[in-house]
Amino acid sequence: MTAQANQSTRFVAYRQGAGRFTSRLRVFWRKRWVKVLVILAALPLLAILLAWILFARNLPSAETLLTYQPPLPSNVRSIDGEPIQSFARERRVELAFEEYPRQLVQAYLSAEDKTFFSHGGLDYQALGAAVVNYGLSLGTGDRVAGGSTITQQVAKNLLLGNDYSVTRKIKEAFLARRIEDVLTKPQILELYLNQIFLGRNAYGVQSAARAYFDKDVDQLALHESAYLAILPKAPSNYTPERHERRALARRNYVLAEMEANGFITPAERAAAAAQPLGTVRSQQNTVKNVGGYYMEEVRRLLVERYGEKTEKGPHGVYTGGLWVRTAYNPVMQKAAEAALRDGLLRFDGGRSWRDPGLKIDMDRDWRSQLSILDYGVGYDDWRAAVVIEKAGGSATIGFTDGSTGTLSASAASMPKRGTASAAYGFLQPGTVIAVKKVAGDSYALRSVPEIGGALIAQEVATGRVLAMQGGWDVRGSSFNRATQALRQPGSTFKPIVYSAALDNGMTPASIIVDGPFCVSQGPALPQKCFRNFAGGNAGPQTMRWGLEQSRNLMTVRAANQVGMTQVTRLARRLGVGDFPNYLSIALGAGDTTAMQMTNAFAILANNGKEVKPSLVDYIQDRNGKLIYRADTRPCEGCDAPDWNGRPMPRPPLRTKQLMDAITAYQMVHILEGVVERGTATRLRALNRPLFGKTGTTSGPRDVWFVGGTPEVVAGIYVGYDKPRSLGGAAQGGRIAAPIFQQWAAAALKDMPKVPFRAPAGTRMVRVDRRSGRKVFGVFPTSADPKAAVIWEAFKPESEPKRTARRYEVASFEERRAALLERLRSGNARLAPRPAPRPRRSEARVEPEPVPDALPSETGIY
């Protein structure tokens, strides 16, 4: 074979047509410029793919915006449904898109994104201009406008954050496209108008309308809508106080854009542009937070249950938009604040000036320092001030609003506490003080008391807390002495001791010896001997007398007789505290709170039925769904759409009985005597059925009064936060009872005067008040609180068997009157001659027979 024959030959088969195209393509691809064009065309696609890998792959889902709910403040209402408080860190009101006026929406479109309804999330022309501006500004440190659409702003505000970077802008663009695929244009606008920050702590357009114009969005004029539309970029650049001209120019620009977009006519633009800004310094038609200890306690309860934000779920106090209905009674709360402050001031004030020990650096902005200072002055007509300068006989003082006044030396002449020198001499520039206006710009120095205390009022039937004042001013001390201060209740604990005695065989007429009483404390220890508050003893007396006069010796003797186990068990059931079985506990030596003591007295007034103190009635979420209710009793048919002709449905009664109903009434009936003729007689001036008990602890360190009416009870204590003596003359009847009297005069004046009702089975028997013996032939007289004969409450078959006749009662009264007369005349040595008893042979005329107990038909059982 030849060499040519040995060469291999390659054959390539092409389809007809396809082979020609491929061949030409191969030839075309071999050209260099074609390859360059293809690579240049692929670069944007590769860049997009790379950007997606780097920036868009882990972005949050746009679907979350379908269920997005902006942070909303929680709103609190009072017992009558009036708004009284808002817990907010972002002031916001959420509206549906349909609730925003069309002209307002057009103003925002003209100012922010006029092609909003035509683009798909990005305005490429504006975006290109932003890229050029960014390149030109490199190295200058200036922040340039990003050309963001409204959709991009929604992505930034809700999903990304506000950091300034190219990375964020790229993520923003990806998210904007996704949002446009998920949400409709009205939904995007609704999110935007509800979310944007517009200054003055206003988030969303409705809050801004209130903050700047004190109007709702549907009340805004054209020039006002245009002003709000300029704020999203930088609210601080257009504040009416500092940048009015700039704000007017920008507002008029928006009006011109609205005209150019065909939203308004030239005449409307000209009329609106001629208007001033018209903003207000502060909104007036809004809820003024009542604040105080009550609202702070409500806030604590809400935070404990739901958290501040979302750490415990979607119902955070500052983000969840809760609607909270409370038992807050505005009239009673105002009366509580005034009564407690007046009582503390009576005890502590008027004697000297107490330096609060607060100083301000006058080399810095004193106004801002004063505004953030925690200094509560209490009264509405008192103001916190700082001494700016002193010159001769007067000082210039400044206030948080920047205004100034004059404090003369004569208006600060009271001595400083612990010295004999006038307070004016101790005032220096930077000293923070409390003052009260006298006339014009002249002020007088005032002193905030060091003494503390609490007042809490509770509804008997439900346990709802109607008022609570936990100290002088929550701005100076958030420590709530009504719920957090553990104090010894003193003699206000005695009703629990005697209730245990009544449950264990004693009666209000039982005789207890008011005499020396000592107990052994153990081997090698001396005996513990008790004494009455004022010393001395009165011998055998009735239980009623012992409680009315608050006799310590009778109380410990009764506790010893029935056993301290019974006393502490009852105290536990009533929620007062878990105490050891020491006799000193019977005199109130165990720690408890004003709220616990008040609730125990409410149980007594409720005939022994359980009640629990509650501040919040119910809570609804932002959509109105009930998520908490204090009263969980079922009520079938209460939500029926119409009446079916049958008796109205009612929830079942609270039937948990913590103590015997008759025992509870017996104790209330005795405590009425404390007001009538015992240690709280000053309260008779209120001229209504009242029960209560004063208390004074050892020292005395604390003074108390707890009591009230069949509908409302209140508890009060006064004492230093670091317990120390109040002075030898301090007593509950002198310090705490007057506070209750002032509170009740204002808080209860419009309430009907309702008597206490005895439970079924109670026997009301006429007895001699001092001896406890049953009386025949004489009826009690309601006009004289110290009448010899009274109605006493007994359990069935427990009334006294001993009797006292009418002449014996009269004889006692005559002897007492004669003795008093001799005491007044100075001739008390002669003993009064007893009235002669009738001889057996004499026929004694008795009145017609009368029942020993009131019949049930009278309404008192």
Active site residues: 112, 491
Q: Which of 88, 723, 634, 727 shows the shortest CA–CA distance to 347?
A: 727
DSSP code at position 408? E
What angle (nearest 5°) sits at the alpha carbon of residue 487, between those of residues 481 and 488?
150
Q: End-to-end CA distance of the chain, in Å?
A: 143
Q: Could you tell me how far CA 509 lies from the centroid of its own chain?
A: 44
Can you name the residues that pair with 435 across neighbouring β-strands?
A: 383, 445
Peptide bond into 700 cis (omega under 30): yes
Max Cα distance, the chain (Å):
181
Tell me how long the chain is: 861
Residue pair 606/305 in contact by the 8 Å Cβ criterion: no
φ, ψ at 565 (rounded to 5°): -60, -40
Peptide bond into 836 cis (omega under 30): no
3-state helix, strand, coil split of the chain in percent (to 5) is: 40, 15, 45
CB atoms within 10 A of CB 247: 20
Cα distance between residue 521 and residue 529, in whole Å: 10
Residue pair 741/683 in contact by the 8 Å Cβ criterion: yes
Burial class, 711, CB count within 10 angstroms (exposed 0-12 / middle 13-18 / buried 19+): middle
Residue pair 427/395 in contact by the 8 Å Cβ criterion: yes
Cα distance between residue 471 and residue 460, in whole Å: 23
Q: What angle do helix axes 330-348 and 732-747 make, rounded to 10 degrees? A: 150
Residue pair 583/634 in contact by the 8 Å Cβ criterion: no
φ, ψ at 488 (rounded to 5°): -80, 130
202-203 and 91-92 beta bridge pairing: parallel
Please tell me the number of Cα atoms within 13 Å of 512 on its side-chain side.
Answer: 29
Q: Which of 749, 745, 718, 748 shows the shortest CA–CA distance to 455?
A: 718
Cα distance between residue 644 and residue 647, in whole Å: 8
Cα distance between residue 527 and residue 521, in whole Å: 6
φ, ψ at 453 (rounded to 5°): 170, -175
The tokens for 732 are: 């509950």
CB proximity list for 239: less than 8 A, separation 6 or greater: 199, 247
The tokens for 803 are: 């009797």
Residue pair 318/73 in contact by the 8 Å Cβ criterion: yes
φ, ψ at 353 (rounded to 5°): -100, 130
Q: Could you tell me how far CA 364 lies from the centroid of its own chain?
A: 35
